[in-house]
Structure 1
Amino acid sequence: MKRGRRSMGRRNLRQEILTFIARWYHREKTYPTVREIQKGLKISSPSVVDYHLRRLEEEGLIARVGRRSRGIRLRHWPDGLAPDGDLIPIPFLGPIAAGDPIPHPSAEPLAWIRVPRLWLASGNDLFALRVQGSSMIDALVGDGDLIIVKPTSEVEDGEMAVVWLMDRHETTLKYVYREGDHIRLQPAHPAMSPLYVPAEVVQIQGRVVQVLRNLNGLPLPVDQ
């Protein structure tokens, strides 16, 4: 009986921390430090806060910039707490396969999504695609997620990119590696093999700069 009462009273600290960070940002226009989170939520020690921040980072809900005291960045805003006054409209072009390649998405936007400017280093010329498949799941990119892409024809080896396969008239999402006169398109899934294609049939269309994770199993919304 006592055990049940303790379980019912247990705090959802990670959700509390996310909400605290979002509300702090709204009020202060900057992010809180670990100690400010500890004090504001009356948590026993900074190490407890740091533990939960590490778990939130692993889940893709926050990012941490180096060792800065105010280096926390929200990647997923709690419902109703996104900074609506500073949203960037980004064209949504449709689906892209993270498993088998699919036909190239239309260049005309099907809809628009809006994301906080502070999530992105640059808001210029970005576009969004919806992931289909699970071949990039070990990179925390799953079926139904949205990816934000910066158009470019050049990426470094090991970067995640949207790739147009000219001989197949298909698009895919993979890590890119140059190996002689071929390109290795590497999935992030232990059960899937890389795709080797001649370099001359590969056209890099963009670098992935942000992932909007589908946390509840429902399609992420876009504005028509």
Structure 2
Amino acid sequence: MLTRKQHELVCFINDRLAETGVSPSFEEMKDALDLKSKSGVHRLISALEERNFIRRLPNRARALEVLRMPERPEAATAQTAVKSGSKSEAAASANTVSVPNTASATPASPARIAANDVVEIPLHGRIAAGVPIEAFEGSSMLAVPAALLGTGEHYALEVSGDSMVEAGILDGDYALIRRTEIARDGEIVVALIEDSEATLKYFRREGAMVRLDPANRAYDPQRYAPAQVRVQGKLSGILRRYD
């Protein structure tokens, strides 16, 4: 079951693809759905992707494909009439909606590909890649290419420090984080320590302890009791600016 906005968005994308062969931009989707920001469009697209109505095409930046369509409201109304009416009325109603139903059930052609732009995600201050510093100092928005983000809710943190350089994460980079409270050994996470300080590290379990490993041999691992550490998200990507 889709929400009204999710339904409106997938129908809007599919209709535009049928007309032009090119998906609307995030800005056009935002305006069509009367949303306040493109981040709202991104959340809707992520939800539709999770429900297998659309997918991001691999190896093609900023590309989407409509996999299937939800039932159109007018088709649902006609089907209700079929159930409640006489046999003759049912036959007439079925004939009336046969063409829209066929169109809705047919997946969009793979050639209909989106050429989407960027989305805005919250930027929550700076995070240490060396020793922990206070996390979430403030909140603004960061424009990010949609191709860098997968499914789920994301936010960004500016990296401070050099303890993750051997993982290719440099001071001044923007870490793109997918919100989650679950992590597997070896994943790079945002770890909130004692609800006050956060750090970006490899997450590992070591017996009864949690070990946060740097990616710089000049730094030592940090060990904490599990109750001291809460995972706030997993690294989804890195955005780097060149001046």
> Is the CA contact (8 Å cut-off) linking 1:162 and 1:208 kept in structure 2?
yes
TM-score after normalising by structure 1: 0.56
Q: Which has the larger radius of gyration?
A: 2
TM-score after normalising by structure 2: 0.52
Q: Unpaired runs of 5+ in structure 1? A: 1-27, 30-69, 76-82, 217-224
Deviation at 1:201, TM superposition (A): 0.7
Deviation at 1:73, TM superposition (A): 5.9
List 4+ stretches of structure 1 deviating above 4 A.
70-75
Residues 192, 93 of structure 1: alpha-carbon distance in 2 compared, 3 angstrom cutoff? same
- Measured against aligned partners, the alpha-carbon deviations of 1:180-214 in whole angstroms (never above 9, x if no partner) come to 11011000001111011111111000001010124
**Counterpart for residue 94 of structure 1:** 125
Moved more, 170-179 or 206-215: 206-215
Q: In the aligned structure 2, how far is the partner of 1:198 from the partner of 1:209?
A: 26
**Counterpart for residue 165 of structure 2:** 137
**Counterpart for residue 183 of structure 1:** 210
Over the matched positions of the two proteins, sequence identity in percent amounts to 36
Q: Unpaired runs of 5+ in structure 2? A: 1-20, 23-56, 63-113
Q: In the aligned structure 2, how far is the partner of 1:143 from the partner of 1:197?
A: 25
Residues 215, 189 of structure 1: alpha-carbon distance in 2 compared, 3 angstrom cutoff? farther
**Counterpart for residue 141 of structure 2:** 112
Residues 138, 180 of structure 1: alpha-carbon distance in 2 compared, 3 angstrom cutoff? same
1:200-211 equivalences in 2 (<5 Å): 200-211=227-238
Deviation at 1:101, TM superposition (A): 0.3
Structure with the higher helix share, 1 or 2? 2
Q: In the aligned structure 1, how far is the partner of 2:150 from the partner of 2:118?
A: 13
Q: Secondary structure at the match of 2:147?
A: helix
| Count of aligned positions | 138
**Counterpart for residue 197 of structure 1:** 224
Q: In the aligned structure 1, how far is the partner of 2:120 from the partner of 2:127?
A: 20
1:121 corresponds to 2:144: no
Deviation at 1:152, TM superposition (A): 0.7
Say what the alpha-carbon RMSD is for the aligned residues: 2.5
The residue type equivalent to 1:209 in the other structure is S
